[in-house]
Structure 1
Amino acid sequence: MGRDANNQMYPIAWAVVKVENKENWAWFLTLVHDDLNLQEGRGLTLISDAQKGLVDAIAELMPHAEHRKCTRHLYANFKKKYSGLELQRLFWHAACSTMEQVFDRKMDDMKFHDNEAYEYLIQRNPNSWSRAFFNLDVKCAAFENGLSESYHRAILLQRSKPIITMLEDIRIYIMQRLLAMNKLAVKLEDVITPSIRKRLNFLIDEQRHWDVIASSYHEFEVRSGAQAYAVNLTNRTCACRLWQLSGVPCIHAVAGYMHLSRDPEDGVHHYYSQEMWARAYQFSIRPVLGTLFWARTNNEAPLPPIIRKMPGRPRKKRIQAADENTTQVSRRGRVIRCSNCQTIGHNKTSCDKEPVPKAPVVRRVAGRRGEPSLQPASRGGRGSRVGRGPSVGRGVGSGRGGVESGGIDSESVSRGRGGVGRGRGSVSTEDMVSFNNLVTIINLSKI
């Protein structure tokens, strides 16, 4: 899986193997090497999680290729032995640093904090996982293989199908993706790709925190507090080395361009232009005829490979690290609503507006069919209900309710069979007395 001019995944080749080992990796990389004429790998950068046999296969086939280790996988293995927030902070500062001076300072701090953790990382060759030592010619600052993980997730459904159907579905997915990306690249009216334009807009907004001191028309000293960097717009260099490494102007270079009222897109490398993005997707996967057109042979039908049962439950998704949150959404994807003013964008703690009056609590009162009634909640609530009809009917049932002042609630009278039954409602004091007299008359009539 490659990376296009918009920093998105670009499919190159895929294969199905029985197991990942040196033999299968060598077979796969040999086909890719010969097909793309990669020779000894000069000018090529590979990023992997150092799987079994992959490191040896790359070193054998493409000895001059830059092989970077995925820092996310490296840290996942690192923290199994050396955990803690301080070690985590020092590791990522050392990995993200683009200057050797910063890298050495962070590693010295780690050595003082935990010498064994320091030795563990030094033995993993910092040239392969720290930006301070990456090749500046490829114009790519990436140090993780998240694009491959994105591809695996995109074909998650296809991977669960039989092998022929799986390969056909993957081919169709890639064919559709290449066409869709070609349309986006061709129709783009900007001179640089969308992801780079978005980053430049962010840096243009942030560069206001830096002061620019001109040394010449193209050379500046860019300062912020105790930090100071030398920028040369003609040579497209900055002392922080991020511009040379990524091919996109850093915040110091953007400040220099804005000081001259020039567009920072002038400092973007040609690799991230609309032209290169469109050229990457100029080719397509040709249509393939269905199984009806496939040639028949007299050869013996191939048998399915022997299933190698791996330990544990079969997995479809990649194994996530312990510190990855798999159930909760990040705060960036949430919509925060204030419970005080009911507006979006902040919570009650930081709200400085007047509270919105809350609606009164309304309780639904049981009423006649087809005549619903909503009345405010009051004390009591559980009352008796009197059956409809000219006569009392079948005896007396227990009532549930309380007493409140005023007349009898019309909703407390039910449509049920005669008599007094269980119901909900409220009865006034006068009607309760009349009701008790009625019960007394009924009891006397039975004597």
Structure 2
Amino acid sequence: MDEDGWFERWSQRTGTLDIRALRGQLTKDFVIQPSRSQVYKAKLKACEIIEGSLSTQYEKLWDYAEELKKTNHGSTIVIDTKLGHDDKNKFKRIYISFNACKQARSTKVDDFQTCMAEIKKLNEKTLKWLNEISPSQWSKSFFLVYLKCDMTLNNLCEIVNGDNEVLEARSSPIYSLLEMLRIKIMNRKASRRAEIKRWYKNIGPKISEILDLEAKKSGYFVAHWEGRGHYHVSINQTPIAMVNLKGKNCTAESGI
């Protein structure tokens, strides 16, 4: 096999530059036993050739930000810099908030209405479609304040951080990293949208699974009517909860 362009062809074919995979393939193709450090250095050099040098990628960030703004109207992109020892601005961090997510993340009604006004300017059909769905179903600004789930941490960030594609992206230069993450988010949203279209219930699959399990457990419960919408619930003649149907709340018995 011709050595010229081997790394680039491997990357295009497999979509990865994983050290372990590279090491095994190099051994197979060239009958050599490179050390891990040798493969790592070769990978860095290959990435520079394929994706450009680190400095070049950082220089592209501002153009990349402007392109995102053009294709994602209303999105917020902020690049923060700091002054280096050579009196030149150095990249510090980048913040990206796509406009499509702003309405759902709005925590105040005023912010929600502002975002909806922006949508109206962009596409009135989209606004009409959103208005057909109660904002209490999709915007934080209209969510009820009392807890409806006993889960206080959903670890969504950890799920994303532990994703193999994200881990692979972390080893890429900044420009490539951002683009890989953008595509990852885009693909995730598209797949979730497709799953939602196939779903046949009014509640999500995970919650539905939990409710089905709890429904089976409830077969062992006995409800004793107290009046005025109040019930004592027991299992094996042991009281476990007081249920108020009118108030839509439940209080566990002492000691439970």
Q: TM-score range by the shorter chain?
A: 0.3 to 0.5
TM-score of the two chains, using structure 2 as the length reference:
0.41
Task: Tell me which protein shows more helix as a share of its residues.
Answer: 2
Q: TM-score, normalised by structure 1?
A: 0.25
Q: Highest Rg: 1 or 2?
A: 1
